[in-house]
């Protein structure tokens, strides 16, 4: 029996689809977008959408930490927790992704939401993003990444670390047990985030954003549970305990750059019996359909194309940068910014810092250029 078509794999695939469907509905309704949140801050000084993103992170950390503390999932086996810290890849990939999502007016998540709302422009962006991400996984860009960026790393395993979690760092620095270090680290981070998020009265009064942030964070937690608990079992052929239905063969939660590449691979090599729908591919489909259902139900579905040749140029450039950056940084604003950070992986925080820095730099450059040409 092939592990990818086992009953457990089916559960994981449908679970990923269902969670992403909910994500798509909520993200469309609340206009959830990390790039948009950064743009609001840079251009208007408004932190509403950023607080929603930070609330989602806080909820994701709470839920994921509870799962880990209760022994429901082993986060040390997640791809983002591998003890080799590719710090240069994470920073360069994050910066590149942040610049790319600004040129494209939104990250992979936002373009999936727009596609569900009728944006042909986003379809083109996602296709080019998928091609670039596949090239970074297995093609020309991947050779550059493997030769120039990945060799700059810190092998934490040589220092006795089983993963790259902040929890492990705290445990080794303080002598606390792994369980107590997890509670302490998660509690401090979540408390700081919640204080910042809810100190703003206007945000506290925005029920849609508060509920949206909570539900999006909960969806990320659901992803870890589906792939890391429900999808964790014995392969009847090898008798090994494995994770079913994921491209990484590890537990996963929502992420969209790599899955777009694997989705294109599946479409192009459909007759290859070794390829199947996975958690990631199903989640990409789920976000689009969830967004589409909301757009149709609220009569907001509109066909949309490119505004100009310059718009096309910027969108395609941004798509390629996002594809390269997202794979190099091991995730996007959702893959690292929500899912990765929820595991407390040090590399995830580095990738997010790069994404934010790249996007803010690109936003300020765009603003400077517009002021200069005015």
pTM: 0.96
250 close to 79: Cβ distance less than 8 angstroms: yes
18-57 b/e (C-beta count within 10 Å ≥ 16 → b): bbbbbbbbbbbbbbbbbbbbbbbbbeeeebbbbbbbbbbb
pLDDT band at 4 (very low <50, low <70, confident <90, very high): very low
Residue with tokens 């705290």: 170
Q: E strand or H helix at 234, and its extent?
A: strand 232-234
Given a cut of 70, is residue 3 above it in pLDDT? no
Q: Which residue has the higher pLDDT, 234 or 324?
A: 324
Q: How far is CA 75 from CA 46, 71, 79, 228, 319, in A?
A: 35, 10, 9, 8, 30
For residues 188 and 62, the answer to whether their CB atoms sit within 8 Å is no
Contact call for residues 161 and 12 (beta carbons, < 8 A)? no
What mean pLDDT comes out for the span 135-155?
97
Tokens of 304: 């949309």
Cα separation, 313 vs 311, in Å, equals 5
Which residue in 104, 145, 151 sits closest to 325, CA to CA? 145
Q: State residue 30's pLDDT score.
A: 97
Per-residue confidence (pLDDT) for residue 270, from 0 to 100: 96
Which distant-in-sequence residues (6+ apart) come within 8 Å of 292 by Cβ? Answer: 24, 116, 117, 301
Report, as an integer, the average pLDDT of 216-220: 98
* pLDDT (0 to 100) of residue 68: 98
Give the pLDDT of residue 1: 35
Whether 134 and 147 have beta carbons less than 8 Å apart is answered as no
Interval 294-305 mean pLDDT: 97
Q: How far is CA 329 from the centre of its chain?
A: 10
pLDDT of 60 > 90? The answer is: yes
Closest-CA residue to 262 (of 137, 139, 145): 137
DSSP letters of 148-210? Answer: IITTS-EEGGGGT-SS-BHHHHHHHHH---HHHHHHHHHHHHHHHHHHHHHT-HHHHT-HHHH
With 60 as the cut, is the pLDDT of residue 109 above it?
A: yes
* pLDDT tens profile 166-207: 999 999 999 999 999 999 999 999 999 999 999 999 999 999
Percent of the chain exceeding pLDDT 90 equals: 95
Please compute the mean of the pLDDT values over residues 220-227 and round it to a whole number.
Answer: 98
Condensed to tens digits (0 to 9), the pLDDT of residues 358-373 reads 999 999 999 999 888 8
* Position 2 confidence tier, pLDDT thresholds 50, 70, 90: very low
Non-local CB neighbours of 157 within 8 Å, separated by 6+ positions: 83, 84
Q: What is the pLDDT of residues 244-267, one digit of tens each?
A: 999 999 999 999 999 999 999 999
Q: How many CB atoms lie within 10 A of CB 354?
A: 25
Write down the mean pLDDT value for the chain. 96
Could you tell me which residues come within 8 angstroms of residue 367 by beta carbon, excluding any fewer than 6 positions away?
42, 43
DSSP string, 318-366: HHHHHHHHHHHTT--TTIIIIIIHHTTBHHHHHHHHHHHHHHHHHHHHH
* Percentage of the chain lying above the pLDDT 70 cut: 99
What's the pLDDT score for residue 22? 98
The span from the CA of 338 to the CA of 341, in Å, is: 5
Separation of CA 262 from chain center: 15
In this predicted structure, what is the pLDDT of residue 5? Answer: 65
């Amino acid at each position: 029996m092939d592990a990818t078509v086992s009953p457990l794999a089916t559960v994981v695939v449908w679970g990923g689809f269902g969670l992403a469907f909910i994500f798509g509905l909520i993200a469309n309704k609340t206009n959830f977008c990390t790039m948009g949140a950064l743009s609001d801050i840079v251009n208007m000084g408004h932190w509403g959408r950023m607080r929603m993103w930070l609330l989602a992170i806080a909820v994701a950390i709470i839920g994921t930490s509870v799962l880990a503390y209760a022994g429901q999932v082993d986060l040390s086996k997640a791809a983002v927790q591998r003890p080799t810290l590719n710090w240069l890849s994470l920073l360069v990939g994050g910066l590149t992704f942040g610049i790319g999502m600004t040129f494209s007016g939104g990250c992979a998540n936002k373009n999936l939401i727009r596609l569900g709302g009728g944006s042909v422009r986003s379809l083109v962006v996602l296709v080019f993003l998928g091609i670039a991400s596949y090239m970074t996984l297995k093609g020309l860009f991947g050779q550059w990444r493997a030769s120039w960026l990945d060799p700059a790393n810190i092998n934490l395993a040589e220092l006795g670390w089983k993963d790259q979690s902040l929890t492990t760092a705290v445990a080794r620095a303080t002598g606390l047990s792994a369980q107590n270090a997890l509670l302490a680290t998660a509690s401090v981070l979540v408390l700081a985030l919640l204080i910042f998020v809810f100190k703003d009265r206007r945000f506290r009064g925005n029920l849609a954003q508060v509920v949206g942030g909570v539900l999006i964070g909960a969806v990320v937690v659901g992803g870890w549970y589906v792939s890391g608990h429900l999808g964790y079992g014995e392969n009847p052929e090898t008798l090994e305990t494995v994770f079913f239905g994921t491209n990484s063969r590890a537990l996963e939660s929502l992420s969209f750059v790599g899955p777009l590449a694997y989705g294109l691979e599946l479409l192009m090599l459909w007759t290859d019996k070794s390829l199947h729908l996975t958690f990631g591919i199903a989640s990409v489909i789920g976000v689009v359909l969830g967004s589409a259902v909301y757009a149709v139900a609220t009569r907001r579905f509109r066909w949309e194309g490119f505004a100009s040749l310059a718009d096309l140029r910027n969108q395609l450039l941004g798509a390629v940068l996002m594809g390269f950056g997202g794979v190099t940084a091991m995730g996007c604003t959702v893959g690292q910014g929500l899912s990765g950070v929820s595991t407390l992986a040090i590399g995830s925080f580095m990738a997010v810092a790069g994404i934010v820095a790249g996007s803010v730099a690109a936003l300020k450059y765009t603003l400077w250029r517009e002021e200069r040409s005015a």
